Amino acid sequence: MSADCGHTIRKMDIISDIRLRTQHDYFDYQFLTGCLSKYKKPRDKISSLLAHGDIVRIKKGLYIFGGSHRRQSLSTEILANLIFGPSYISLDYALSHHGLIPERVETLTSVTTGRTRSFDTPVGAFSYQFLPLPKYAIGAHLKEGNQPFLIASKEKALVDKVWTDKRFSGTNRKDFFQYLEEDLRIELDHLSTLDAGRLHDIDKAYNSRKIHLLVRFLLEYKE
Percent of the chain with pLDDT over 90: 80
Report pLDDT digits (tens) over 179-215. 999 999 998 888 999 999 999 999 999 999 999 999 9
The answer regarding whether domain 3-69 maps to CATH 1.10.10 reads: yes
- Please tell me the predicted confidence (pLDDT) of residue 103: 87
Q: How distant is the alpha carbon of residue 170 from its chain centre?
A: 27
pLDDT on residue 56: 98
Asked if residues 162 and 207 have their Cβ atoms less than 8 Å apart, the reply is no
The span from the CA of 114 to the CA of 144, in Å, is: 25
pTM: 0.90
**Residue 186 in contact with residue 101, Cβ under 8 Å?**
yes
What CA–CA distance (Å, rounded) separates 24 from 68? Answer: 14
Indicate left, alpha or beta for 207 from its phi (over 0: left) and psi (-120 to 50: alpha): left
Q: What residue ranges of the chain have pLDDT lower than 50?
A: 1-9
CATH 1.10.10 in the chain is located at 3-69
- What pLDDT score was predicted for residue 53? 95
pLDDT confidence of residue 221: 84
Round to whole Å and give the CA distance between 154 and 189.
14
What pLDDT was estimated at residue 172? 82
